[in-house]
């Protein structure tokens, strides 16, 4: 019996930075044997002042073995082709789908060598006039329209401050596509090529805002921390910090008014329904702002929790990581994992999946550069191209 869902599946990770490597890492946490294939200069996240110690590289590449190959070198290319023949999945996120073709590892070649291979290609812009152009989180935000809805109400457009959020979304999209392809392969016996791009994944993140446009005919605009279809659902300044408050339906609106001692707001005809509160946002929000500014954060958190109103605190200290480690619920559910890396101890999120008979796990720390070279090459002994 398998101990982990993807036990026996081999994944080749030829990706760089985040959107490809993170998808491969998730597969590793589900039990796949993931081999990180790096070029002689290493992954982008290994470079810079913290060579081989980048938090990004360490966090994006655990649960993998590591090998280095120069795909412009004939011998290394032959090794890569042998790896392809033994693999179930190949992931890469070069800026153009033509790069692997030029290196002799295009779909026509590898699919003939291994008809069961699932090849996920997640480039910057896919095809069209932008094909081959480099991309990053900021350009994707601009192209996908995220900047047009980010920023303070009435203020200038802004980039999303979490600068890698779209990479994580793209990684999740890629993971889902690969899992579906593996399921289909079990029924058909055939592999397939999956083509995605950072631009397409970035547009996917805005699907709810696109739905608003189709439903209302009104283009969304920057709203700061507020939410377009629920009022209130945002952060409010208190006497010493910030508190987040959400009122998803009328039952919670009644509870909020009771907690604030403001029956007049509950009975105000402008705010009686969720839609009226959205429509009259500009009248309601300033009233709530003036109330929350009168007391410290701890007062509002305690009071609103007593009245069963969804509330949260924007903490200044301790750090988010320390706060999570001190949270009894997080620790009870084992939502964080402590493990040792080659560069020191690390705390990260625990794999989210819990199944009846198997579970996800972090199998090993991110590899040193070429750490498993001899081990992986030795496994290929006796593999003859085209013998599969």
pLDDT digits (tens, 9 = 90+) for 230-244: 999 999 999 999 999
Average pLDDT, the chain: 88
The beta-carbon contacts of 40-48 under 8 Å, at least 24 apart in sequence, are 40/68, 40/70, 42/68, 42/369, 43/16, 43/17, 44/16, 44/17, 45/16, 45/17, 45/18, 46/369
Question: Is 62 or 216 the better-scoring residue by pLDDT?
Answer: 62
Helix then strand then coil, % of the chain, to nearest 5 = 40, 15, 45
- 115-167 pLDDT per residue, tens: 999 999 998 887 778 777 777 777 778 877 778 888 887 788 888 765 557 78
- Tell me: pLDDT of 51 over 70: no
pLDDT category of residue 111 using cuts at 50, 70 and 90: very high
Q: Is the pLDDT of residue 388 over 60?
A: no
Residue 87 near residue 380 (C-beta atoms within 8 A): no
Give pLDDT, residue 157: 85
Distance of alpha carbon 122 from alpha carbon 286, whole angstroms: 45
**pLDDT 10s digits, 184-198:** 999 999 999 999 988
pLDDT band at 95 (very low <50, low <70, confident <90, very high): confident
d(CA 23, CA 173): 8
| Predicted local confidence at residue 341, as pLDDT | 87
What is the predicted pLDDT for the residue at 246?
96
* Residue 152 token pair: 């303070």
pLDDT of residue 86 exceeding 90, the answer is yes
pTM of structure: 0.82
pLDDT at residue 274 greater than cutoff 70: yes
- The answer to whether the beta carbons of residues 104 and 132 sit under 8 Å apart is no
pLDDT at res. 17: 86
74, pLDDT greater than 70: yes
- Euclidean distance between CA atoms 224 and 151, whole angstroms: 5
The answer to which of 260-269, 364-373, 379-388 has the lowest mean pLDDT is 379-388
Structure tokens at 290: 């003036």
User: What is the predicted pLDDT for the residue at 291?
Assistant: 97
Residues 6+ away with beta carbon under 8 Å from 100: 14, 92, 94, 106, 121
Which residue ranges form the domains of the chain, and what is each CATH number?
10-205+331-379 (3.40.50.10540), 233-237+242-313 (3.30.1540.10)
Question: Alpha helix locations (H) across 336-382?
Answer: 373-379
pLDDT at residue 54 tops 80: no
Q: What average pLDDT does the segment 285-296 reach? A: 97
Least confidently predicted of 49-63, 200-214, 305-319:
49-63
Q: Inform me whether the pLDDT recorded for 37 exceeds 70.
A: yes
Is the alpha carbon torsion for 48, 50, 51, 55 positive or negative? negative
Tell the residue number behind the tokens 């991110």, with chain if given. 366
């Amino acid at each position: 019996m398998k101990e982990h869902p993807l036990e026996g599946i081999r994944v080749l990770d030829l990706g760089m930075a985040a959107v490809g490597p993170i998808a491969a890492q998730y597969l590793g946490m589900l039990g796949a044997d993931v081999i990180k294939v790096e070029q002689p200069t290493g992954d982008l996240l290994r470079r810079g002042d913290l060579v081989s110690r980048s938090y990004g590289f360490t966090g994006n590449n655990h649960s993998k073995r590591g090998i280095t190959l120069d795909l412009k070198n004939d011998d290394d290319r032959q090794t890569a082709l042998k790896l392809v023949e033994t693999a179930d999945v190949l992931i890469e996120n070069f800026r153009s789908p033509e790069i692997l073709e030029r290196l002799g590892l295009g779909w026509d070649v590898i699919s003939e060598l291994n008809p069961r291979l699932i090849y996920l290609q997640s480039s910057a812009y896919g095809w069209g006039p932008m094909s081959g152009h480099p991309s990053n989180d900021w350009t994707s935000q601009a192209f996908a329209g995220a900047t047009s809805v980010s920023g303070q109400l009435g203020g200038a457009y802004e980039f999303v401050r979490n600068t890698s959020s779209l990479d994580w979304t793209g990684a999740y999209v890629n993971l889902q596509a690969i899992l579906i392809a593996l399921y289909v392969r079990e029924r058909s016996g055939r592999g397939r090529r999956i083509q995605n791009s950072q631009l397409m994944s970035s547009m996917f993140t805005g699907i709810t805002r696109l739905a608003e446009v189709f439903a209302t005919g009104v283009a969304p605009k920057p709203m700061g921390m507020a939410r377009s279809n629920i009022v209130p659902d945002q952060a409010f300044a208190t006497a010493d910090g910030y508190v987040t408050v959400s009122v998803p339906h009328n039952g919670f609106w009644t509870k909020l008014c009771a907690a604030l001692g403001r029956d007049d707001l509950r009975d105000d005809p402008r705010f009686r329904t969720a839609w009226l509160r959205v429509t009259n946002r500009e009248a309601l929000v300033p009233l709530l702002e003036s109330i929350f500014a009168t007391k410290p954060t701890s007062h509002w958190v305690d009071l609103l929790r007593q009245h069963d109103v969804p509330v949260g605190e924007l903490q200044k200290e301790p750090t988010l990581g320390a706060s999570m480690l001190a949270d009894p619920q997080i620790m009870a559910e084992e939502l964080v994992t402590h493990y040792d890396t080659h560069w020191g101890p690390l705390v990260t999120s625990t794999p989210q999946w819990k199944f009846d008979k198997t579970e996800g796990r972090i199998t090993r720390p991110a590899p040193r550069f070429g750490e498993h070279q001899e081990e992986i090459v030795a496994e290929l002994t006796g593999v003859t191209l085209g013998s599969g």
